Amino acid sequence: MDELFIEKREGVLIRHPSGWKILFFSAVSSTSSILHQWAKKGEEEGLVVVAKRQHQGRGRQGRSWLSLPGGLYMSLLLRPTTAFHSVGRIPFLFALVLIQLLRESYSLPAVMKWPNDVQIKGKKLAGILTEMSVDKHGRSYLVTGIGININQREESWPHDLKGQTTSLAQELQVDLNSNDLLFFFLQRLEKAYRMFLQGSLDPVAAHLQYSATLGQRVHIKNGTGDYYGQAVEITPTGSLRVDCGGGIIREFFTGEVTARKMDSF
């Protein structure tokens, strides 16, 4: 499937071999916002909204998500049959699938920075945002959006993102076909999601070998303040436990993490 195919199929439903139903757009406000509209009306699990650009991409903690051409922006509708307390593990599932795909197909040293960034050599390659809501029938659902930097170039990033963000093209020195990546990602995700529902895959435990945060000295900023310490555990539900010294272990459910050099404490 090439870029032209996407253009021709604008807004038309396509069925991926592994069961996902995909709606392609060249540009939308936010793939997650569009998918929420479908979900609210009662759409079943498995719908995916994909766009090549977003005008109002949303990031975590109310931030915007810069969605330049060259990136891949998608949101997936899930209605997991497992307890909804497993919601915090879904971003780990997405990150795990992407990390393993990048490692196996492109030999890239992809890792996960808690809570849900995929990084390569310390630079952000992808971000994940999971939102839970209720449809008009009172049924819960999850919309998980993922933005992956694929063919953006170093010079296209605004000043404040330069040096902090990367793309696959920057890492591999070659442009990639984003449709191939999308299709392989969805194929792997379907398998991993099925295993997750069956209880044979624990994405939090499985991601630990790729964690860029565990064991690091960290600075965590969240709504209540700034905290410093050593990241000692990522719990089974995905929260981060930090040894802040003096016998104090704090547990974080969200926040911005910066890894610190040993001598900065």
In the complex, which residues of this chain contact ligand BTN (CB under 6 A)? 30-32, 54, 57-60, 63, 65, 73-75, 117, 127-129, 145-147
The distance of closest approach from Cβ of residue 114 to ligand BTN in the complex, given in angstroms and rounded to an integer, is 12
Nearer to ligand BTN, 41 or 63 (CB): 63
The structure tokens listed for 65 are 């998500």
Q: Following DSSP, what letter does each residue of 77-146 receive, concatenated?
A: EE--SS-GGGGGGHHHHHHHHHHHHHHHHH---EEEETTTEEEETTEEEEEEEEEEEE-TTS-EEEEEEE
CA gap 96, 195 in Å, rounded:
13
**With respect to ligand BTN, which residue has the nearer C-beta, 6 or 230?**
6
Q: How far is the CB of 247 from ligand BTN (least distance, A)?
A: 33
- Least distance in angstroms from the C-beta of 200 to ligand BTN: 28
Number of residue whose CB is nearest ligand BTN: 127
Task: Yes or no: say if 180 and 16 are a contact pair by the CB < 8 Å rule.
Answer: no
Closest separation between CB of residue 144 and ligand BTN, Å?
8
Closest listed residue to residue 117, CA positions, set 238, 13, 212, 3: 212
CB of 199 to ligand BTN, least distance (A): 27
Q: Is the peptide bond before 91 cis (omega within 30 degrees of 0)?
A: no
Q: Give CA–CA dist 123/207, Å, rounded.
A: 18
Q: Which is nearer to ligand BTN, 59 or 195 (CB)?
A: 59
Using CA atoms, how far apart are residues 250 and 12, in angstroms rounded to an integer?
48
User: Which is nearer to ligand BTN, 31 or 216 (by Cβ)?
Assistant: 31
Residue number with CB closer to ligand BTN (58 or 89): 58
